[in-house]
Amino acid sequence: MNFRPPFPGFLLLAGLVAWLSACSGEPQTGPGKVRWDREICARCAMALSDRNYAAQVRGGPVGQKSKLYKFDDIGCAIIWLDEQKWKDNPAVEIWVNDYRNGNWLDARKAWYVTGKTTPMDYALGAQPEKTDGALDFAQAKKHVYEVEKRLNLHSGLPVNQPLPTTSEAKAK
């Protein structure tokens, strides 16, 4: 006696479902793959090219599928995330490169050393271990805002807002 599936395309359909499940895109947790020199920072629109100082934020509004945002510098990630209504969602993940080897670290658990040459001059290098003078995440956030205020990076304007013209600047 020969066994036949309930309908002829059953095996084909089962195979298609398995294949689509395997190809459903990036996972919804952890850092994603970066296409270096091809992707741009979600805040400043510079290319992600330095493999030792980039950052990623994974999150979104509660009840919605999380989205991955990529940044050229942890400073851009910190300021950008603070502008999001969902910044306090406990499911939000922040990832940063270890400045020595490029491995991804949980940004909230990392320690930050100052004095590094970074893409946006926030000067923070992340590492997994605490060393003398290293900043925790809260201190690193404070450092980023101090640098932003002192250097007036991005002219203090949101990235999507155009810079004032010379005549507008003189009028102020």
Model confidence at 19, pLDDT cuts 50, 70, 90, reads very low
Q: Exposed/middle/buried for 116, CB within 10 Å: 0-12, 13-18, 19+?
A: middle
Residue 70 lies in a domain: yes
Residue 19 lies in a domain: no
Direct distance between the N- and C-terminal alpha carbons of the chain, in angstroms, rounded to an integer:
90
Residue 136 lies in a domain: yes
Amino acid at 3: F
Contact yes or no for 147/75 (Cβ under 8 A): yes
Q: Does the pLDDT of residue 16 top 80, yes or no?
A: no
Residue 43 lies in a domain: yes
Domain count, the chain: 1
Residue 95 lies in a domain: yes
Average predicted confidence (pLDDT) for the chain:
84
Distances (CA, A) of 54 to 10, 95, 127, 164: 46, 8, 13, 29
Q: Does the pLDDT of residue 69 top 70, yes or no?
A: yes
Model confidence at 28, pLDDT cuts 50, 70, 90, reads confident
Model confidence at 20, pLDDT cuts 50, 70, 90, reads very low
In order, the DSSP letters of 133-150 are T-B-HHHHHHHHHHHHHH
- Three-state secondary structure of 47-99: ECCCCCCCEEEEECCCCCCCEEEEECCHHHHHHHHHCCCCCCCCCCEEEEEEC
Residue 3 lies in a domain: no
Q: What is the arithmetic mean of pLDDT over 29-53?
A: 97
Model confidence at 62, pLDDT cuts 50, 70, 90, reads confident
pLDDT at 140 (0 to 100) = 98
Residue 6 lies in a domain: no
pLDDT at 18 (0 to 100) = 44
Best CA proximity match to 74, nearest among 103, 28, 43: 43
pLDDT at 14 (0 to 100) = 47
3-state secondary structure (DSSP) of residue 104: strand
pLDDT at 151 (0 to 100) = 82
Q: What is the arithmetic mean of pLDDT over 85-90?
A: 94
Residues 6+ apart with CB under 8 A from 74: 53, 55, 96, 107, 112, 118, 122, 124, 126, 140, 144
Residues 6+ apart with CB under 8 A from 102: 51, 52
Residue 170 lies in a domain: no
- Structural domain range at position 72: 26-164
